[in-house]
Amino acid sequence: MARREPHFVSRYFIKMMLSYGLVIIIGMGLVSGLTTSWVVRTLTEKESRVDREMVRQVRDYSDDKYKTIRNIFVKLYMPLSYYDNYSVMDYLKPRKLENLNRKTKREVISGYLQDICSSNSFISDIFIVDYGDRDVFFFSNVAGRDPSLNYDFYSKSLPGGAIDNKIRFVPNHIPDYINSSSVNNYSVLSYCIYLFDENAVRFNNPLGYIVVNVWADHFKAAIQNSDSLNGTMLVVDPNGLTLFDSSGEAAGAPFNGEKYGIDDLDGAQSNDQYVVNMLTSDQTGYRFVNIVNRDVIRREAGAIRRRLYGILVVCVVLALVISLISASMFSRRIERLVRKMRDLERGKFNEYGDVRANDEIGYLEQRFNSMITSLDKHIQTAYVYQLQSKTAELKALQAQINPHFLFNTLESIRVNALMNHDAETARMIHILGNLFRWNIKTRGMFVELREEIDYANAFVELEKIRYADAFDVVTDVPQRLMALGVPKFILQPLVENAIRHGQKGVSSGGIISVSVRQEPEGRLVIAVEDNGCGMDEEKVRRITGLLDQPENEAEDHYSIGLSNVHQRIRILFGEPYGLTIESQSGVRTVVSIIMPARKKEELEKYVQSNHRG
């Protein structure tokens, strides 16, 4: 009787789907309930915090404007340099300026009022009444707004009772001293004060008075750029009159606290229907109140709740879909492992790809593949591996023979040149052979600084023969730095550029200096300087910009070698390091390598570490 195969897929799939579905539905339900209550509480706290900040912002704005008005009153008594060091009050005092004509007086005072209005847009009008000359000096930020010629400014007293030197305040009103043909369809807040001689002992004989009218709704400037204002912002004076209402309903009327469930404004607090925030100004006594209906918060919470429910539904669906896909994937993996076992039972040693999964099923597949590989190795004959080993040894031997063959050939050419009495050619071949031998024998990415300098000196020796000793190379390297590590082949390209480009057109007297120094920050600076033709600032900027370009994209031959060195330094050590170029046209050029100052072995560990994040 044939053995019945187990149905792994169906049982595993059903168990996973039931588990996932139960966890997802219960978890999402709990999250939904907890999140909803948290959202309502958080929104209420946030609204209260934002409203408090908004109230503070409006209060600070109002206090700042009140301070500006006080300064306007104070500056009337201060000497003005652009008015011959006379104050505005000097022009109002009888016999102070005996030779002063009324035209000059009007020009000075009117100009002063115009300057105040021009620099303070929250001011609607400003005027000074002069009792002595029975004159009115008026200026407005509203074009065509003028005082009435029929209004008696001189017999009218300021509000507030007895004459003194204190600031008076007139709340929301439309002035009756404005010409009927002028613009006069908006309310203002008036700040007034009597004007006295600064030497006066008693304040009962004013020289006149000044009135500053500000827009009644100028408080809007403090909130007009804020999108976070909810509810209504109110400004109430000490007498309970509403100076400003952001909704535009109660401005100019007594504050109606019953509408918001507030019995006493001094003790205003939040209640079941409204969130209330209030601050009082120490300067003006104004109370700044923000009132938000809790229905606004509840509507926001309801909208968030609906969006949250929608998101939760989508999450549940996605989670179930992901669970379905996950269960299906795991089931297929188990089936694949079962098929491998059946193939092995039939004697099929198939090659399977790498298993990338690191879970339990992946571990089983890895172990199973390892077992198959071990069994397959026992089938392979030993002579196959021996043959491959011999072939590898032969290739390695050939790789060793070829460089020696090239060295021997160069040496034969050098000996032949000596036999023909061509010592210079023989010397060049000898140097070239040493350079090639140095390239082949050095292993690894880094060498000691002394080796790199020796290699560069050998190259310089070869170039001096070519250029008939048109230049000299001076090396200034402290002995203690010779053991530091550097990447291979970074100095020779700089020296070659200094010879090919820096000494271009120079037949004698050329000097190329190679200097090395270690900076306190742990940086090694290798500088190659020549006294050749140099470069102008534009060319230096262009070449510096090409340093980060690949060799096949660099258009300037001068920059190709430098770009190679610069990019290697950047790849090895990171962006703070690389090449810098300084040059003066017709004077010199200095190319510097900046890299970490470390031993050769330390550099190898350094580039393998996480030194660049």
421, part of any domain = no
| pLDDT band, very low/low/confident/very high, at 404 (cuts 50, 70, 90) | very low
Query: What DSSP character marks residue 204?
Result: S
For residue 71 the two structure tokens come to 């300064």
Same domain? For 488 and 474 the reply is yes
pLDDT at position 613 over 60: no
Q: What percentage of residues in the chain have a pLDDT greater than 90?
A: 25
pLDDT at position 141 over 60: yes
Number of domains in the chain: 4
Among 202, 195, 215, CA closest to 128: 195
| Amino acid, res. 318 | L
Alpha helices in 550-597 (DSSP H): 557-573
Query: What DSSP character marks residue 484?
Result: B
Same domain? For 483 and 604 the reply is yes
Phi, psi of 86 (to 5 degrees): -95, 145
Q: What percentage of residues in the chain have a pLDDT greater than 70?
A: 71
Same domain? For 362 and 504 the reply is no
pLDDT at position 478 over 90: yes
Residue 394 has a pLDDT of 33
Check which CATH number belongs to the domain holding 148 and give it.
Answer: 3.30.450.20
| pLDDT band, very low/low/confident/very high, at 384 (cuts 50, 70, 90) | very low
Q: What is the mean pLDDT of residues 553-562?
A: 61
pLDDT at position 199 over 90: no
361, part of any domain = yes
Same domain? For 29 and 55 the reply is yes
Same domain? For 287 and 354 the reply is no
Q: Print the domain residue range for 356.
A: 349-380
Residue 398 has a pLDDT of 35
Check which CATH number belongs to the domain holding 469 and give it.
Answer: 3.30.565.10
94, part of any domain = yes
Convert the pLDDT of each residue in 494-525 to its tens digit: 988 888 887 776 767 788 899 999 998 889 99
Same domain? For 594 and 462 the reply is yes
Same domain? For 173 and 258 the reply is no
pLDDT at position 1 over 60: no
Among 266, 239, 268, CA closest to 252: 239
Taken in order 357, 361, 367, 373, the sign of the CA dihedral is negative
Convert the pLDDT of each residue in 149-193 to its tens digit: 889 998 878 887 788 889 999 999 999 999 988 999 999 999 999
Convert the pLDDT of each residue in 295-328 to its tens digit: 877 776 666 767 777 777 777 777 777 777 776 7
Same domain? For 459 and 568 the reply is yes
Convert the pLDDT of each residue in 22-81 to its tens digit: 777 787 677 766 676 676 667 666 767 778 888 899 999 999 999 999 999 999 998 877
Question: Tokens 């102008």 — which residue?
Answer: 536
Residue 187 has a pLDDT of 93
Residue 575 has a pLDDT of 80
- Strand runs (DSSP E) across 154-207, as ranges? 168-173, 188-195
Q: Residue 441 class from Cβ within 10 Å (0-12 exposed, 13-18 middle, 19+ buried)?
A: exposed
CA 333 to chain centre: 47
8 Å CB contact between 44 and 230: no
446, part of any domain = yes
181, part of any domain = yes
Q: How many residues make up the chain in this entry?
A: 613
Helix orientation angle between 8-75 and 294-345, rounded to the nearest 10 degrees: 150
Same domain? For 197 and 53 the reply is yes
Which of 100-104, 420-424, 466-470 is the least confident region? 420-424
Q: How far apart are the first and last CA of the chain?
A: 65
For residue 508 the two structure tokens come to 């004698």
The Cα 229–Cα 549 span in angstroms is 53
66, part of any domain = yes
User: Is pLDDT larger for residue 397 or for residue 575?
Assistant: 575
Residue 102 has a pLDDT of 79
Mean of the per-residue pLDDT values of the chain? 78
Among 64, 79, 77, 170, CA closest to 125: 170
Same domain? For 177 and 56 the reply is yes
Strands 485-487 and 446-448: antiparallel
Q: What is the mean pLDDT of residues 327-341?
A: 71
| pLDDT band, very low/low/confident/very high, at 570 (cuts 50, 70, 90) | confident
Residue 593 has a pLDDT of 95
Phi, psi of 519 (to 5 degrees): -90, 155
Same domain? For 452 and 477 the reply is yes
595, part of any domain = yes
| pLDDT band, very low/low/confident/very high, at 409 (cuts 50, 70, 90) | low
Which of 297-301, 544-548, 600-604 is the least confident region? 297-301
User: Is pLDDT larger for residue 554 or for residue 324?
Assistant: 324
Same domain? For 64 and 137 the reply is yes
395, part of any domain = no
Residue 139 has a pLDDT of 95
The Cα 365–Cα 340 span in angstroms is 9
The Cα 46–Cα 509 span in angstroms is 79
| pLDDT band, very low/low/confident/very high, at 379 (cuts 50, 70, 90) | low
Query: What DSSP character marks residue 264?
Result: -
